[in-house]
């Protein structure tokens, strides 16, 4: 069967599956000002730089004849779909984003969105995490999204509180040792 007659997905159903978890139903998309700026910069870069370059490459490749065996054309079209999917995803996420500045809690000892929290488990092992938005948290940098189990357990706790963390291995108690927030901008 010729590739010319196969249906390609428009990607609408794939938009939500952009490598990030979906937002919980009825919740807001909390994000820090820095996270919002990062996502907005990525969106603008895709629209102003990367997409026009790929469109130009696809246009050039299309002029070279048989498109069914033209690797530049096929790869370019695929990359264009990926870029368009990411642009739609970022646009939707930024439209519903609720920018929350964690520095307003600077000096406080209660855990809210944007806090960097040090806690100890029952064995005394200490961990430090920063609670951020779904779209900006990077687990490799000890950042967790505000909807993660550890963040849910820690939110609204104070220094010295024991909180119950439910994990797949079972429930355990963790103690909040320290809470810090970014310094407010002058």
Q: Which ranges of 63-148 would DSSP assign to H, the alpha helix?
A: 71-95
Decide if 159 contacts 176 (C-beta within 8 A).
yes
| Residues in the chain where the model's pLDDT stays below 70 | 1-22, 26, 66, 186
H or E element that contains 51: helix 51-62
Of 77, 99, 121, which residue sits at a domain end?
99
Of 68, 99, 130, which residue sits at a domain end?
99
pLDDT of res. 11: 46
pLDDT of res. 74: 87
pLDDT of res. 56: 92
Extract the tokens encoding 153: 């357990």
In a domain, 155, yes or no: yes
Q: Are 88 and 138 members of one domain?
A: no
H or E element that contains 116: strand 116-120
What single-letter DSSP state applies at residue 139? Answer: G
pLDDT of res. 14: 47
pLDDT of res. 16: 47
Phi/psi for 120 (5° steps) reads: -125, 140
pLDDT of res. 15: 45
Pairwise CA distance, residues 114 & 136, whole Å: 11
In a domain, 154, yes or no: yes
Pairwise CA distance, residues 42 & 150, whole Å: 28
For the question of whether the overall pTM of this predicted structure is more than 0.95, the answer is no
Range of the domain at 159: 102-180
Of 99, 122, 141, which residue sits at a domain end?
99
């Amino acid at each position: 069967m010729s590739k010319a007659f196969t249906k390609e997905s428009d990607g609408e159903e794939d938009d939500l599956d952009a490598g990030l978890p979906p937002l919980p139903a009825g919740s807001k998309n909390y994000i820090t000002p820095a996270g919002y700026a990062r996502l907005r910069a990525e969106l603008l870069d895709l629209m102003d730089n990367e997409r026009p370059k790929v469109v130009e490459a696809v246009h050039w490749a299309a002029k070279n004849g048989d498109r069914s065996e033209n690797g530049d054309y096929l790869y370019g079209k695929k990359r264009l779909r990926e870029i368009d999917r990411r642009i739609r995803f970022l646009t939707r996420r930024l439209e519903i984003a609720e920018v929350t500045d964690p520095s307003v809690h600077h000096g406080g000892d209660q855990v809210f969105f944007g806090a960097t929290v040090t806690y100890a488990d029952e064995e005394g092992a200490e961990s430090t995490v920063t609670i951020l938005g779904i779209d900006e948290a990077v687990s490799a940098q000890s950042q967790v999204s505000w909807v993660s189990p550890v963040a849910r357990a820690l939110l609204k706790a104070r220094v010295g509180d024991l909180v119950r963390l439910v994990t797949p291995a079972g429930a355990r108690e963790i103690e909040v040792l320290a809470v810090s927030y970014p310094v407010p901008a002058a």
